[in-house]
Chains A and B, each alone.
Chain A
Amino acid sequence: MSVTPDTQAILLLTAHFSKPKTDAAKPLAPKEWGRFAAWLKENRLTPEKIMTGQLNELLREWEDKTVTSQRIEALMSRGSALALAMEKWLRAGLWVMTRSDPEYPRRFKQRLGTDSPAVLFGCGNRKLLNGGGLAVIGSRNTTESDLAFSRDLGKLAASNGYSIVSGGARGVDEAAMLGALAADGTVIGVLADKLLQHCSSAKYRKYLMKNDLVLISPFYPEAGFNVGNAMQRNKYIYCLADAGLVVHSGLKGGTWTGAKENLKKGWVPLWVKETQDEEAGNKAIVADGAAWVSSDVKTINFTGLINGTQPAKTSITKDYDTAAENIQQVVTETIPEAFRKGDQLPFADTKSVQSADSTAAEAKRDAPAAKQLEFYDLFLKKIENVCSETPRTVDELTEIMTLNTPQLKLWLNQALKENRVRKLFRPVRYIWAKEQSDSEIVQQGSLALQQLQKKIGQ
């Protein structure tokens, strides 16, 4: 494999080629690179031009508080180090991609914007990266029953044709990943350390060779374990998925922080496995806006999980049965927090287009459960009233319905998914969708998707 000059330049600016040294110029962080890349674009420059041209002339106009010209120059002079490191990594079967790569995860760009990793190192089937899936998150040290749950969950994802997205750590991560792989499913592993070693490990090698697995890392591929990287890695796991499921969380630590961050940023709907462990943070995460999911994998409706519409399980309501909580509970279970706040673009890739058909049908099938949703039903009625004739923007709707914007967007997305409303563009407006047959729904769904994709593509 040869690497394009642009990629070489981006690597020179953003990647470590050996163990980080204290006295050496520090590679640009994603945000720093984002600023510099934007400036390059503004000035009609490419990274390659920066590498091959007269640097001091090209950078005369560049000013930045942390990214000095000297720093850029020092980073750029690491050509031999780049060559030595790349030879080793490519030899081990790794590849490298930048944000401009067509296979670079679109979900990263959508959800993280300029905070997306500038460079991803990886191994295995790159196509999986844009396929979404279920993020499975949990502790390293965990119980046998949590491990069994994770394995079965992986298997369930496999049989539903969805990838598992996880972190490759011991415990829950590994169990879910290997559970899916053993069942011929597909897996995205986002590693915080030792990408190079993992790719040649007996447990992952054969799946990488079968194209069922992709392992990626935004970090130095030979990095050892590092708490900072491990924490940061969680956000990438959520951002690659369609929905997230926390198997077990402490009351602090990576799983805890990652789940909170996802809820705050509204990346994906979040589920939490029910647990008897009083020490666990599971309950607190639910209190924060996630929803419970049964500890019995057999009873889980996977599509519902992915869509964020899994019906409430009686067992849960039994366990946490208090009359006062009940209604609130039903709402949260059915529409996790993330949906209320999220402004995600749900379908952004081919895999989802294929599954969109079933998603639409599933949405229909789940309709009876959705009938319990009084607030949402009210919302639908109101939308029907105000949007039947005139398409409305989000701002207009916020005002008309006296709702806060995240709440509005959440329900709009839900309605969009169920084909109760249609989305129009330039500007973005919503219009009530008339009653339709299933096939029409599907058709319209994929039309909307195509429009969306076009939009994203621009």
Chain B
Amino acid sequence: MNKQEAQELLKIAVNDADAQFRAGQWEAIDALVNHRQKMLVVQRTGWGKSSVYFISTRILRDRGAGPTVIISPLLALMRNQVEAAERLGIRAVTINSTNNEEWDAIYQRILADEIDAVLISPERLSNQAFMDRLLLPIADRIGLMVVDEAHCISDWGHDFRPDYRRLVNILRQMPPNTPVLGTTATANNRVIQDVQDQMGNITVQRGPLVRDSLCLQTMRLPDQASRLAWLTQYIPGLPGTGIVYVLTKRDAEQVSIWLNEQGIVASAYHGSIEHDDFEDSNRYRQHLESLLLNNQIKALVATTALGMGYDKPDLGFVIHYQAPGSVVAYYQQVGRAGRAIERAYGVLLSGNEDDDIHEFFRRSAFPPERHVNAILNALEASDGLSTYGLQEQLNMRLGQINKVLKLLSVENPAPVIKQGPKWFRTPVPFQMDHDRIEHLTHQREQEWRELNGYIDSTTCLMAYLRDALDDPESEDCGQCAVCMGSPVVPEAVDRNLTILAKQFLRHAEIPIKPKIQVASGAFLKYGFRGNLRPELRAAEGRVLSRWGDSGWGGWVKDDKHSGHFRDELVEAIAQMYENRWQPAPAPQWVTCVPSRNHPSLVPDLAHRLAGRLQLPFVDAIHKVRDNESQKNQQNRFHQCSNLDGAFDLIDDIPATAVLLVDDVIDSGWTLTVLAALLRKAGSGPVYPVALASFSAGD
């Protein structure tokens, strides 16, 4: 295959009879198909990386090779990619958790040689069932392996992901006669070096990262209300559609609600966002992506779950509601804007909370050693345990357990391995690598400082980004806020909008979803098993704030420590209850969760609330067993069993609906159990309500 022949394929792929290869494209194709090399291609988004792998696929397939496997965080190929593939006669399929009912059919088609390219996500590689059932059986004939967003395999990468660690271990075992293509738009020298070190003989090709149409600006706006107001004020004036990046899932949802209230059509997007109309999160996210792609919404309010590989040529703006953790991450996200349009905007707003959030991210990036040891010890004493078995043995949250297992299982060799539904200890010794952890944490602090340098930069913002990315060609852009000497988008915020935003933040109550499934074997005394019967379940409740947040949560935190909740909080619940929540059938009485440690704190709150709502207070629930603090119960089994037999009810429970008051909720199991006991004793619907929640929703 020579360049001329390949060029003919390019013309077909991009549907342009005059198409010429961009610098580097033919070289990459040649290295892959004629020399079976391993390539790392560092080129800006839109350079045409998919042309390289689709043309290579066509050539290899015509020579009788098996299908190409593309490992990509994308949920589906972008439309322009699908079209290019189709023009080349490449039959591409996506395999992910949303379509596992199609796996068998896809598998049969692959075996019948009817598939030319398979798109899978990196986390599939950690799913042994998928690997054994699908990938390994077809792997005998994989012609080309493509790794999208290859910077993720670097420890140094801003978004190093455990699944990519598994991937790099696979790539490392690739014999020299197997072509591999890694692609990324965001890798500085250090990341490239790291990828080379980890992969061995890989050839690197890199081009300039210039993005002519992008106008950059940074702004420090300390409080959330001002930033919400800014968004309302200026998003309608920005061209086309765009993305608002936030740091947490909760912020994604809150900001998106605010924008919609303000008449800006936006949707929240994060890794576990769900919608009743969609079977699961993946499907709903695919839907959200297509809404933005088709300009049916003004903006997606997204966490970093959106981004990698998302390719919308006419994205008009990328605004950061909170600052990302590193310059590389920022470039990755802002670089989505303005690929094929004249002018696009990249505005970074930085707030007071950013520092804390990133500090939290750094601190929780690795599980504590005692968690690691607890899990290793439990597995060592067993012949395999499921995660449920681990929860029973260990007082750890499922999330904590999964985090440890993930960290351990991507090591190679790894101290644990999953076989079927159970985790086993392998004979591989393990020692936490404190040096590496410290090193990475230090690296992240350094990256965060560099990002702050960007926010406060007094030189060209684009040049700052390109320097940080070791872009070989870097010069002043002449169009950012610094080069222009004045803001690209105005900074002034309307005072009335800010007041409105403040109120909005104070009305940011969260529903308490009733829990349904109890931990098996946890309620031996109360006799709850499996799913709670519908007539025993709590009704949907409300929690006023998040512990310590910028709305009411700060007061809740202060007052809990001082031992008395101020009247403003009682009034806040009452207003929420009367103006927004309005549960029906309406509660006819009020009761509360008892406590032996603070016998009067919650009853006092409940009394005043009952008075304010003009409902009778009934002291209906008594604590009969000194159990451990519910706050210290880390998983469902322990949260449930700690409550078993802890409460007793008075004899005459009114048969009407009741408001069940608590101050701060964590897992929500106490309210669930008390609701079930109240219903059992003959009460009407039970509506839980609390001042604040601890639970980590982000």
Chain A contact residues, CB within 8 Å of chain B: 1-3, 5, 8-9, 12, 17-19, 21, 24, 48, 51-52, 76-88, 90-93, 123-124, 196-197, 199-202, 204-206, 208-209
Contact = CB atoms under 8 A, between A and B. Distances in A.
B411 A91 contact: yes
19 contacts: A8-B175, A9-B175, A12-B175, A18-B132, A18-B136, A51-B176, A77-B177, A83-B174, A83-B175, A84-B139, A86-B173, A88-B131, A91-B426, A92-B413, A124-B427, A199-B426, A200-B419, A200-B424, A200-B427
B175 A91 contact: no
B140 interface: yes
B131 A24 contact: no
A82 B380 contact: no
A23 to B, nearest CB: 8
Interface stretch (B164-172, B204-212, B495-503, B545-553): B164-172
B174 A123 contact: no
Contacts of A8: 173, 175-176
A87 B139 CA distance: 13
A76 B383 contact: no
Give 10 nearest A-B pairs by CB, closest first.
A79-B178, A81-B139, A208-B427, A80-B142, A200-B424, A83-B173, A8-B175, A86-B173, A18-B136, A202-B383
Given A92-B413, A200-B426, A201-B383, A51 B177 contact: yes
Contacts of B178: 79-80, 83
Interface string B122-143: 0000001001100111011110
Given A87-B166, A91-B411, A202-B382, A82 B175 contact: yes
Which of A79, A86, A88 has the most CB atoms of chain B within a 10 A radius of its CB?
A79
A83 B170 CA distance: 5
A52 B177 contact: yes
Which of B135, B141, B166, B428 has the most CB atoms of chain A within a 10 A radius of its CB?
B428
Contacts of A202: 381-383
Interface string B147-179: 000000000000000000010011111111110
A77 B176 CA distance: 11
Interface residues of B, number: 43
A320 to B, nearest CB: 44
A18 B426 contact: no
A205 B175 contact: no
B65 A83 contact: no
B427 A87 contact: no
Nearest to B416: A200
B417 interface: yes
Contacts of A85: 136, 139
B130 to A, nearest CB: 11
Given A84-B170, A209-B427, A77 B417 contact: no
B425 interface: yes
Contacts of B686: none
A85 B173 CA distance: 9
B573 interface: no
A67 B537 CA distance: 69
A458 B434 CA distance: 47
A25 to B, nearest CB: 8
A2 B413 CA distance: 11
Contacts of B399: none
Nearest to B427: A208
A406 B141 CA distance: 50
A80 B178 CA distance: 7
A81 B136 contact: yes
A199 B174 contact: no
B169 A91 contact: yes
Contacts of B383: 201-202
B478 to A, nearest CB: 47
B413 A79 contact: no
B33 interface: no
Contacts of B131: 84, 88
B629 interface: no
Contact of A82 (B65, B169, B173, B424): B173
A87 B65 CA distance: 23
Nearest to B143: A77
A205 B380 contact: yes
B112 to A, nearest CB: 11
A52 B176 contact: yes
A3 B173 contact: yes
Contacts of A80: 69, 139-140, 142, 145, 174, 178
Contacts of A205: 380, 425-427
A19 B132 CA distance: 9
Given A80-B174, A82-B175, A200 B140 contact: no
A123 B427 contact: yes
Contacts of A91: 169, 409, 411-414, 417, 426
Interface in B56-104: 65-66, 69
Interface in B417-440: 417, 419, 424-429
A196 B654 CA distance: 61
A202 B380 CA distance: 7
B454 to A, nearest CB: 38
Contacts of A197: 419
Contacts of B174: 79-80, 82-83
A201 B380 CA distance: 9
A286 to B, nearest CB: 39
A237 B335 CA distance: 62
A434 B132 CA distance: 66
A79 B65 contact: no
Contacts of A93: 413-414, 426-428
Contacts of B425: 200, 205
Contacts of A88: 128, 131
Contacts of B135: 84
B173 A90 contact: yes
Nearest to B141: A77
Interface in B176-198: 176-178
A365 B69 CA distance: 68
B429 A209 contact: yes
Contacts of B429: 209
Nearest to B139: A81
A76 B66 CA distance: 13
Contacts of A124: 427
Contacts of A17: 136, 139-140
Nearest to A215: B427
Nearest to B178: A79
Nearest to A124: B427
Contacts of A200: 384, 417, 419, 424-427
A146 to B, nearest CB: 25
A51 B36 CA distance: 11
B175 to A, nearest CB: 4
Contact of A5 (B175, B380, B427): B175
A450 to B, nearest CB: 35
Given A52-B177, A93-B427, A200-B424, 14 more contacts: A51-B175, A77-B141, A80-B178, A81-B142, A83-B170, A83-B173, A83-B175, A84-B135, A87-B169, A87-B173, A91-B169, A204-B427, A205-B425, A206-B427
Contacts of A21: 137, 140
A24 B140 CA distance: 8
Contacts of B424: 200-201
B176 A90 contact: no
Contacts of A87: 166, 169-170, 172-173, 412
Which of A24, A52, A124, A202 has the most CB atoms of chain B within a 10 A radius of its CB?
A202
Contacts of B142: 79-81
Given A12-B175, A123-B427, A1 B413 contact: yes
B178 to A, nearest CB: 3
Contact of A78 (B132, B140, B384, B426): B140
A197 B173 CA distance: 22
A401 to B, nearest CB: 53
Contacts of B136: 17-18, 81, 84-85
B250 to A, nearest CB: 36
